[in-house]
Structure 1
Amino acid sequence: MIPVASAAFWGSRAENDTQVPAPLVVPPSQYWDGDDGAWSSFALRVGTPAQNVRVLVSTNSPETMVVLPLGCTTQAIKPLPSGCANARGGLFNSSLSSTWMDQGLFGINQDGVGFEANLGYSVNADYGLETLGLGFAGGPSEPTLENQTVAAIASKSPFYTGIFGLGTQPVNYSTIGNFSAPSFFTSLRSKQLIPSLSWSYTAGAKYRLKAGQYAQLIFGGYDSSRFTPNSASFTLAGDIDRDIVVGIQSITYSGTTQTSLLTTPIFAFIESTDPNIWLPKAACQAIEQAFGISTDKATDLYLINSTQYAKLQTTNPQITFTLGDSLTGGETVNVVLPFGALALPASYPLTSNDTYYFPLKTAANDSQITLGRAFLQEAYLTVDYERGNFSVSQCTWQDGAPAQIESIVSSSYSATPSPTSSPTSDAATGSKKLSSGATAGIVIGAVLVVAAAAGLAYYFFIVRRKRANSVNEEQPIH
């Protein structure tokens, strides 16, 4: 069970007289971005003077990625769309920043290992250390951290917009003397700006409520108004590149009929970088038959034409995922995806014309089975890396519902009083009834120790040398 403190205790002091910081709620940009869906983005301030960009959350990236001005030239996209810079969330020009410290050109992964390697992602980026802040320049004051890893990209794929990484592992620049730069997330914790090494995230849903529901990202806490409590608890896996793993015990289609879409339970990785749901071939075929969809040869997408869309919207079929910490038995949680979550708007350059597509991909092997960003429209995810556990809950939808922010407090704050008002019945939030697990954050390589407020080491990282695949600096970023 994760210790939680109500608002009354956010300002309390531990025995070492260190104030317990409050959860950090990151405001959404209030824009919907992307060519593979209408995604609720977040604003970042990059560089000095600050340049505004809008990015999507990547729950497993160790770095932040931004789009270079080169990304809005015919070298990257041809023909070049009007309003390209805005469509890509804004551009970052490193030559205009006095704090950019270039580290060189690298690939985002190496030899099939590392960030999104299992899904076949491959792109070169110009890596640097930069000043990075949350929110728009001139907006509400939010934390700004120096010497953060920023990867600048130009290619239109696999990232059309930039991303903001929530990963725990540092980026290791092995070509310049094994220098490691901690992630933004771990930097927040080591600077005692958040109460624990934890976060909560849901992707938001434009199809919900009167004007859509924006995404939510909270460091060190969660918002109990955004999800339905359940008693299922999950343990983080040991592989830092694939740690938020759940057992999918069943997948059920409900429409004009009801049928099972999964013959054998499977393990799946939950992550927000990729928009798709990756399932074994048999499950994809069952979904194809249930929804009457097929892949388009030109795009390799399950395109939905206007006639199909109107028909499916009328019947409003849905898919229910039953998840547990294991493949059979134990406490489970159901996450229901309505048709609105499964008919994503696609636009140029992903498709030549505006249309809809079904976010489904066939997994070539077990390492590709993934519940991507489309799933997180309807799921609320809370991850506690200090205790090695996480929760998944069904989102709730209520216009004007006041936020109910709760804190997840590190065990290092040993004198923090027990909350008197935190909900506890059947895990009133997913982060309460979480089982204790092995401490997460294990990577391959060196060890990074993040000091806790009590003065003891609270977290250890074994760092993979992710950046050993240096690319020739004359090679274009694409």
Structure 2
Amino acid sequence: DGDDGPWSSFSIQIGTPPQRSRLFASTRSTSFWVPVPEGCTKDDPDDCGENRGFLFNTGSSTSWESKGLYELETYEEAKLGLSGNGLYGFDSVTIGWPGDNGPTVSNQAIAGIATKDFYLGGIPLTPWATNFTDIQNPFPSFLTTLKDNGSIPSISWGYTAGAYYNAPQVFGSLILGGYDLARIDPTKQQVSLSLGSDVSREHLIAVQNITFTSGSSPQNLAAASDGIFANINTNVGGMWLPKPVCDRFAEAFGITFDNRTDLYLINDTQHETLKQSNPSVTMQLGGSLIDALSTDIVLPYSSLALQAKSPFLKGSAGSEARYLPIHVAPNNTAYTLGRVLLQHAYVFTDYERMNFTVAPALLPGATNPTAEIVPIRVPGYVTTTKSSSLGGGAIAGIVIGVVAAITGVALVFWFMY
């Protein structure tokens, strides 16, 4: 799914009767962002609604409670030129498709979006409450509601974007209340950091070094001297970096910036050459620019040669183009690492202890064919006696079903006794 690359989306249902929706994981929003009919116009292709993950019609839901039109919570994204309004309200949300037996939570904050800056909507992963006009009457977040009703053991999540370029394709993974140990490479170093005090840039991490490797000739694209502290943000696909770093990327890959589309395009000849040389980019990430503790996320060329299409591909309605997902950040407060990094990185966040971990992701294979869900417990949790009940203390986490174009979806509850 998506207009800036092939990304895994996750399945939910909204309203009464339930309406299907495919959404991305959102590390930034406090409400569900869901495209509405106004997001597809007469100038869009006939399959616009399908391409946007289906459209939520608020008028068709008997449980919809409108709160009005407000700006989306895009403080960080606005720095990147992305913004929009949302038709806010409350409605019920069910995890998974019909028949998946996923939990249903009522009175969830939902923003119906028409803007195409965010082509698909998002599942909110922050714990912060939603306020409208009355700050004394906040509405609990999605994760808080799931914890309070016993569906998950803590306010936490684990996520990796998957690798669609891989053969076979690897879908993304989103766990609520824990993380999937089978998607973390146990042979590689990981780094754990405190969440940032600025809730809009909670997942702030230092980019200590970026290395381009082709054959036996590594080349530095960024170093500690570039002073890059970037926010991990799954609302966007690409990476926003300093202009000198983007220039080094372009030179290393042998491509140029296209002013018409505002993208670093890769033509067919360049693509064939790069496939033959098969370069990779290694992102060295840590808690500070000189911290000895760091983790290396290696992105092969195939993970960086993404397909852009309209409306993300400006001035080329109906066509597609291959591009490198880097963008020039307008200033040093806008450095951002999007879903492209998370193809090969696994992030899990523990809001109970206010920390997050970044680790090299392990693609499922012969050695790790199934999920290994690890629950994140609240501080002071004491193991109870063995029980066959399905109470809140027994549930390890919720595995959100990944939408696949042909094979459908799967929702699984994992229980710990």
Please give the TM-score of this superposition, normalised by the length of structure 2: 0.86
Distance (whole Å) between structure 2 residues aligned to residue 284 and residue 350 of structure 1:
19
Residue 228 (structure 1) aligns with: 185
Q: Confirm or deny that 1:99 pairs with 2:63.
A: yes
Q: 1:20: which partner in 2? A: none
What are the within-5 Å matches in structure 2 for residues 141-290 of structure 1? Answer: 141-156=101-116, 158-174=117-133, 178-210=136-168, 212-229=169-186, 230-256=189-215, 257-263=217-223, 264=225, 265-290=227-252
- Say whether the 8 Å CA contact 2:364–2:370 is kept in structure 1: no
Identity percentage over the alignment? Answer: 40
In the other structure, the counterpart of 1:17 is none
How do 1:323-342 and structure 2 match up within 5 A? 323-342=285-304
* Counterparts of 1:349 and 1:364, CA distance in 2: 22
Q: Which residue, out of 71, 79, 84, partners 2:48?
A: 84
Helix, strand or coil at the partner of 1:116 = helix
Conserved in 2, the CA contact under 8 Å of 1:200 and 1:219? yes
Do the aligned residues in 1 keep the contact of 2:349 with 2:357 (CA within 8 Å)? Answer: yes
* 2:190–2:358 CA contact under 8 A, matched in 1: no
Matched, 1:73 2:48: no
- Give the deviation of 1:383 after TM superposition: 0.7
- Count matched residues: 376
Residue number among 255, 262, 277 corresponding to 1:315 in the alignment? 277
Please tell me the residue identity of whatever aligns with 1:116: E
Contact kept in structure 2, 1:209 and 1:399, CA below 8 Å: no
Measured in 2, the distance between the counterparts of 1:123 and 1:184 equals 22
* CA shift in 2, pair 1:261/1:103, >3 Å: same
Q: Retained in 1: the 8 A contact 2:7–2:162?
A: yes
Q: Which runs of 4+ in 1 moved over 6 A?
A: none
CA contact (8 A) 2:190 2:360 kept: no
**1:442-478 per-position Cα deviation (integer Å, ceiling 9, x unaligned):** xxxxxxxxxx99xxxxxxxxxxxxxxxxxxxxxxxxx
Deviation at 1:49, TM superposition (A): 0.2
Provide, for residues 174-209 of structure 1, a one-character-per-residue CA deviation record: whole Å limited to 9, x for no partner: 1x5754222211211222321111110001111123
Structure 2: where are the runs of 5+ without partners?
386-391, 394-417
CA offsets 1:77-126 (integer angstroms, 9 cap, x no match): x3x213111111111111000000000000114xxx73533333220111
Separation in 1, partners of 2:292, 2:3: 39
**Equivalent residues in 2 for 1:435-474 (5 A)?**
none
| Residues 172, 181 of structure 1: 8 Å contact kept | yes
Where 1:61 maps in the other structure, the secondary structure is: coil
**Match for residue 409 of structure 1?**
377
Other-structure match for 2:30? 62
* Secondary structure class of the residue paired with 2:191: coil
- Aligned 1:294-443 pairs, distance under 5 A: 294-351=256-313, 352=316, 353-399=319-365, 401-415=369-383
Letter of the 1:209 counterpart: A
CA-CA distance at 1:231 after TM superposition: 4.8
Evaluate the alpha carbon distance shift between residue 392 and residue 126 of structure 1 in structure 2; reply closer, same or farther with a 3 A threshold. Answer: same
Distance in 2 of aligned mates of 1:143 and 1:249: 41
User: Which runs of 5 or more structure 1 residues have no equivalent in the other structure?
Assistant: 1-32, 418-451, 454-478
Q: TM-score, normalised by structure 1?
A: 0.75
Q: Do the aligned partners of residues 57 and 102 (structure 1) sit closer, same or farther apart at CA in structure 2, a change above 3 Å counting?
A: same
Alpha-carbon deviation of 1:295? 1.8
> Is contact 2:205–2:229 with CA below 8 Å preserved after alignment?
yes
2:100 counterpart SS class:
coil
CA displacement, residues 43-85 of structure 1 (integer Å, 9 cap, x when unaligned): 11000000001111111111111111122223xxx3x213111
- Residue pair 1:233, 1:331 contacting (<8 A) in 2 also: no
2:280 and 2:167 map into 1 onto residues whose CA distance is: 18
Matched residue type, 1:168:
P
Residues 321 and 177 of structure 1: CA distance in aligned 2, closer, same or farther (over 3 Å): closer
